[in-house]
Amino acid sequence: MKILWCVNILLPDIAEAIGAPHTPLGGWMVSLSSDLAKIDGINLAVATIYSGKELKKHDVNNITYYLIPGGQKAMLKRSNEKLKDYWWEVAEHFKPDLLHLHGTEYSHGLALLEACPDIPAVVSIQGLLGVIQKYYYAGMEFSDVFLRPSFRDIIKLDPLWNNRRSFRSRAVFEREILCQVRHVIGRTTWDYSNVKAINPNIKYHHCDESLREPFYKSKWDISNVQRHSIFTTQAGYPIKGFHVLLKAVALLKRDYPDIQVFAAGYNLLGNSFKERLKIPGYGLYIKRLIKKLGLEDNVAFTGMLDAEGVVYRLLKSHVFVIPSAVENSPNSLAEAMLLGVPCIGSYTGGIPDMLENGNCGFLYPFMEEAMLAEYIRRIFESDDIALQFSQAVRESAHKRHDRKKITDTMVGIYRDIVSCPR
């Protein structure tokens, strides 16, 4: 069985092969693709858009990679006949039995469906932009969104509200994709209900996600943590709710002056004058908020971390917090749970399907920083609660993210779709 994946990023093996920068994103696809490539009878190809000018093919670690010219602009254009020609050429060369689109956010997936209408297709749901864009400002005030752009936003003509507009425009591709395909793969009540709202006739397949190998090998130990430390990820734009976490930390600082928040990703404060000129509008808002709340000594940005770096930071943390305005099934939470880190998440999207409130961790209503602060306090104050949560989340995550079970389930889904009458 020949499976052609359509993805939005360069996976690490092909990035290394062509000398392109690596990205820490898409770890679940890396894990699943490597597991599928080891199965007899499965022939996997992975295709994506890149910034070059020629269609290229590389074979790396038993996976065929296709690099389609066009860059980011090609992924955002609704109608691109040249892109369809490239997809047709890839399909003619590889002759797939099934197309598997990872995500609905970009138009190159739609172009693939239009170029190959006679090949069965399935879409894995990542986020759903049509829903997510409604939460984009995540409770920020009008003045912070519209009246205080950063220098970078002005120069690039790319203010904060432009990012939401991009989400809304790409949601058009998403709806068209979901209306064209007959099968989707998802993981949560949130993605099920929203996909069915768009296309009630679509067949929904449940399959959880494989995580990166380092997260299966280590275990959180409370004796090794930095007390009163919090770790979070993807703080770079409003929907991730970093500003709500900061407000909760300000409430806690009165009793825990040593409290420390570590945020993975781009330093929103800038380390140099040149970097500060590049701070986006949300970063400028966070900088003002940190100063207003007196948290200059309590917030640290780690920069981009690879899997080993995330594992290290999680194992050192007293608690992991995911304060997003909306999520589907965030892998950052899954990775923390797999290690057994006590977790707190906002009660939104698919998070309640992953984290059982009061048993595996705490859930709180988004924007309720006082409740978030209280739940963090309970973990800080009680090692018994921390240890209970640690054991519960680890058992839950290892059961949900069993890589062999996930690979077998995915192969079963592929066979089911290929054998379905058209």
Q: Where in the chain is the domain with CATH 3.40.50.2000?
A: 2-210+402-419, 213-400
pLDDT (tens digit per residue) in 262-271? 999 877 776 6
Task: Give the confidence band of 34 by pLDDT, cuts at 50, 70, 90.
Answer: very high
Tell me the average pLDDT across 225-243: 93
Taking CA atoms, 244 is separated from 67, 301, 339, 357, 364, in Å, by 40, 16, 25, 19, 12
pLDDT class for 59, splitting at 50, 70, 90?
very high
Q: Give the per-residue pLDDT at 147.
A: 57
Question: Could you read off the pLDDT of 212-225 as tens digits, one per residue?
Answer: 999 999 999 999 99
**Rounded Cα gap, residues 86 and 307, in angstroms:** 33
| Token pair 């999520």: residue | 327
Chain segment 263-308, per-residue pLDDT in tens: 998 777 766 666 666 677 788 889 899 999 999 999 999 988 989 9
What is the structure's pLDDT at 141?
A: 79
74 confidence band (pLDDT: 50, 70, 90): low
Spell out the CATH class of 2-210+402-419.
alpha beta
DSSP state of 213: G
Fold adopted by 213-400: Rossmann fold (3.40.50)
Residue type, 225: V
Tell me how far apart the alpha carbons of residues 204 and 403 are, in angstroms, rounded to a whole number: 21
Could you tell me if 298 and 307 are in contact, meaning their C-beta atoms sit under 8 angstroms apart? no
Distance CA 221, CA 228 (A): 14
Helices (H), 116-159: 129-132, 142-146, 151-156
